Amino acid sequence: MTVQAQTHTFQADTKRLLHLMVHSLYTDKEIFLRELISNASDALDKMRIEALRQPPLLKDGETLEIRIDTDPQARTLSIRDNGIGMTRDELVSHIGTIAKSGTRELMQRLKENSEGHSASELIGQFGVGFYSAFMVASKVTITTRRAGEDTATRWESAGEGEYTLEDTHRDAYGTTVTLDLLPIDSEGGIEDFTDQWVLSRIVKRYSDFVTFPIILKVEREEVEKDEQGQPIPDGKKTTVVEDKTLNSMKPIWTRSDVTDEEYAEFYKHISHDWADPMKTMRFRAEGRIEYQTLLFIPSQAQGNLNYHGSEFGLQLYVRRVMIMERCEELLPRYLRFVKGIVDSADLPLNISRQRLQEDRYINQIRKWITRKTLDTLGDIQRDDAEQYLKFWEPFGSVLKEGVADADYKDKILGLLLFASSHDPANLTTLEAYVQRMKSDQKEIFYITGESRNVVEHSPHLEAFKAKDYEVLYLVAPVDEFLVQYVFEFQGKRLKSVGKGAVDLGDENEQKAAADKLQTLQEQFKGVFEFLKEKLDDHIKEVRLSNRLTSSPVCLVGAENDYSPQLARLLQKGDLPKQKRIMELNPDHTIVTKLKERFEKDPTDTLLSEYAELLLGYGLLAEGSPIPNPVRYNQVLANLMTRTL
């Protein structure tokens, strides 16, 4: 049966990305080999894991390996593996589209490139390794057969917008990627990638630790030897072809003399990141449970860490053999940015997911890894604030989720950074906040909201600013979640400035303020009742405020109410409708005049328009939407018409 080759076009984004890649990665073209070997090695890992469950997938005596074949005359190079292979559909979805969610974002960032990242770093973040082949090849051909399937598929492309697909034959399971190499151009970074010394060097440099043999067929001249085994001068020369394994295959975590560069290459191999890791952590446990770990904190986020379905986990090895590519059980979710491996001496090779989840031993390893990672972060924070900030930027909000972990809550609280009213340019720890607390201050004040800019101008802060109390700005979406779990730090209660009553100043000041409000509250009783009735849909109480100094009004919640920020974050309908408390500033002209007007004529029809305007003012000031913007504008226009 022959099936005609079908021509397909790349997704538009893929096309543009390809172009950019090929034309912006001038240096390090040789890394294409690392990428292809990495993919082959992943495919072999998958094959081994699948063969554990379905042994017939591997022939008797078949070893999993990567073979590099070259043809210097034809100028082709192929990387062949007997790994898991791809079905036709997989080939289309993995190679024909860069379907990963981040492509558009990546394109955007490549265009702006504002953060000073190199194109290669950016590309690496989104894992498009295979395409790097087009930096050195005019045509790439993939022949692949998925383990367990009969047919193979051939994919071919010149990297210029189109690829062809056709059914083909392949004797064994696995994948061969063949490159028609571009002409050698040493200035342009294109060496002779058919030369064994060039290939040897590249493999040693980037892929030495790959746990499967990377085999190159090499030709060697052999001179005829005499009986003693000595070469005969002018003897007959024969060409011997032999296999040469280019990598040592020694797992890097079992070696003692590893350089930073080697760690970095290993990290790139397992993470598919192109940037060096920020921190390498290596430790071993001996005794009752025995295992080794090699962990990395990346220097940049890969993909979207906040996407809920995003996969994470560490590679799990049993006595140097990988049995799982992504073992989630080894990491708490809030450390999902950590990459690395665990090699254990005490697990069965075919351990099931089920058993992993229940395994006490795995649990213990996870706890140990968690503690070590948090301690390491603590060290960075203490020793190198600048570095810590670099960590914090991409990963801080993930780490914050950890406050729900009772075992490590305190450690994590110590690691958190927040924006604060103390310093517009820098973040603060809770500890530093507590050290700055005023002598009469009992609570840690915070406000939640959309952004620093919005909360900074919130009327809720006025009294705090006037009396010089520091307020933390909790403006990350995860912060709303955080305050559900964190009630205190070092014995100081966390207190929202937008909820409940506030008592500022020393005892005398507090008493004087309370007395003043109480007396005034009586005088405002009538107008407050009126406002409450008018705004009944939105407001459950109207009272005087000691939060405000310059604004006439703000809206607050009762101690246990959810915040407007939470309402914005959650979908409409997920929360029961909740009325707010309206607080008015008794010293503000608007408020006193409103009272006068009400007392003069409680039936004045304009009063209800003023009530609506006050509500709108309060909502807008805190960054909340107003219930009926059209109506609000009309009322405002009426007011202008009257007063202009």
Choose the stretch contacting ligand ADP; rule: CB under 6 A; options: 76-84, 187-195, 391-399, 407-415.
Answer: 76-84
Q: Write each residue from 259 to 298 as x if it is in contact with ligand ADP (CB under 6 A), else as -, in one continuous string.
A: -------------x--------------------------
For ligand ADP, the closer of residues 175 and 565 by Cβ is: 175
- Quick one: tokens of 439? 């002598």
Minimum CB separation from ligand ADP for residue 550, in Å? 55
Choose the stretch contacting ligand ADP; rule: CB under 6 A; options: 68-76, 80-88, 353-361, 559-567.
Answer: 80-88
CA 233, chain centre distance (Å): 65
**Cβ-Cβ contacts under 8 Å for 2 (sequence gap 6 or more):** 167
Q: Write each residue from 91 to 130 as x if it is in contact with ligand ADP (CB under 6 A), else as -, in one continuous string.
A: ---xx-------------------------------xxxx
Burial (CB < 10 A; 0-12, 13-18, 19+), residue 137, is buried
Could you give the dihedral angle defined by the CA atoms of residues 486, 490, 496 and 502, in that order, rounded to the nearest 10 degrees? 150
Minimum CB separation from ligand ADP for residue 490, in Å? 44
H runs (alpha helix) in 318-473: 353-358, 360-383, 385-400, 409-415, 430-436, 452-456, 462-466
Minimum CB separation from ligand ADP for residue 306, in Å? 20
Minimum CB separation from ligand ADP for residue 65, in Å? 13
Minimum CB separation from ligand ADP for residue 131, in Å? 6
For ligand ADP, the closer of residues 94 and 282 by Cβ is: 94
φ/ψ region of 615 (left if φ > 0, alpha if ψ in -120 to 50, else beta) reads alpha
Minimum CB separation from ligand ADP for residue 31, in Å? 12
For ligand ADP, the closer of residues 43 and 554 by Cβ is: 43
Assess 43 for contact with ligand ADP (CB under 6 A). Answer: yes
Q: How many CA atoms lie within 13 A of 538 on its CB side?
A: 19
H runs (alpha helix) in 274-359: 353-358
Minimum CB separation from ligand ADP for residue 175, in Å? 4
How big is the CA angle at 20 (ends 18 and 25), to the nearest 5 degrees?
105
Helix (H) or strand (E) holding 352: none
List Cα–Cα distances, 25 to 296, 519, 632, in angstroms. Answer: 25, 73, 55
Minimum CB separation from ligand ADP for residue 191, in Å? 22
For ligand ADP, the closer of residues 83 and 618 by Cβ is: 83
How many residues bind ligand ADP, per CB under 6 A? 17
- Report the alpha-carbon distance of residue 574 to residue 415 in Å, rounded: 31
For ligand ADP, the closer of residues 129 and 332 by Cβ is: 129
Assess 133 for contact with ligand ADP (CB under 6 A). Answer: no
Asked if residue 322 lies in contact with residue 49, where contact means CB atoms within 8 angstroms, the answer is yes
**Cβ-Cβ contacts under 8 Å for 481 (sequence gap 6 or more):** 400, 401, 404
Assess 582 for contact with ligand ADP (CB under 6 A). Answer: no
Minimum CB separation from ligand ADP for residue 43, in Å? 3
- Given 14, 32, 39, 342, the residue binding ligand ADP (CB under 6 A): 39
**Cβ-Cβ contacts under 8 Å for 560 (sequence gap 6 or more):** none
Assess 40 for contact with ligand ADP (CB under 6 A). Answer: yes
- Report the alpha-carbon distance of residue 580 to residue 622 in Å, rounded: 13
Minimum CB separation from ligand ADP for residue 40, in Å? 5
Pairing of strands 580-584, 539-544: parallel
Assess 15 for contact with ligand ADP (CB under 6 A). Answer: no
Cβ count within 10 A of residue 336: 18
Choose the stretch contacting ligand ADP; rule: CB under 6 A; options: 84-92, 324-332, 414-422, 503-511.
Answer: 84-92
Choose the stretch contacting ligand ADP; rule: CB under 6 A; options: 78-86, 317-325, 388-396, 628-636.
Answer: 78-86
CA 127, chain centre distance (Å): 13
Asked if residue 553 lies in contact with residue 459, where contact means CB atoms within 8 angstroms, the answer is yes
- Given 84, 110, 455, 544, the residue binding ligand ADP (CB under 6 A): 84
Assess 35 for contact with ligand ADP (CB under 6 A). Answer: yes
Instruction: For the chain, state the CA radius of gyration.
Output: 33
Assess 152 for contact with ligand ADP (CB under 6 A). Answer: no
Could you list the residues that contact ligand ADP (CB under 6 A)?
Answer: 35, 39-40, 43, 81, 83-86, 94-95, 127-130, 175, 272
